[in-house]
Amino acid sequence: MKINTKYLGEVEISEEKIIHFEAGIPSFLDEKKFVLLPFDESTPFYILQSVTTPELGFVVVSPFQFFPDYQVKLSDATIEALKIEKEEDVSIFSILTVQEPFTKTTANLQGPVVINNKTNQGKQISLNDPNYGTKHLLMPQAVGKEG
């Protein structure tokens, strides 16, 4: 099927790739179907694109590439809701707030998006860890050099 996207224009997607967010995403509770699209092959960034709303696409990245000490502990309720059986079936992404210049872009580490790749179910969760907020600089070393 073809969908229109916020960043990539019209793209062809396979219905098997649609990720179902049963409860939607906070602030977008009616948005239940998304697809994960690579931003481009040379970067670690993806677009979590709504299948039904072309204007709704989140730039996401695996937080572990930028924050090696980052830890996510899934609650039993999340494991059950997403029908997670094995850790290797899970992908975790952080939603980015893209800034100009890009070196000021921040990652939401408090609200990771959890996807069960086996069942194509997803959920944005909220971590109760005081070390994680919604605006962690993706490249703090680059910002220090600008100034």
Give residue limits of the domains in the chain. Answer: 2-146
Model pLDDT, residue 145: 54
Model pLDDT, residue 143: 60
What pLDDT tens digit does each residue of the chain (147 aa) get? Answer: 999 999 999 999 999 999 999 999 999 999 999 999 998 888 999 999 999 999 999 999 999 999 999 999 999 999 999 999 999 999 999 999 999 999 999 999 999 999 999 999 999 999 999 999 999 999 887 665 544
* Predicted TM-score (pTM) of this structure: 0.93
Model pLDDT, residue 140: 82
Q: Which has the closest alpha carbon to 119: 71, 80, 74, 93?
A: 80
Homologous superfamily of the 2-146 domain (CATH): BH3618-like (2.30.290.10)
Place of tokens 């409860």: 23
Peptide bond connecting 101 to the previous residue in cis, omega within 30 degrees of 0: yes
Model pLDDT, residue 147: 43
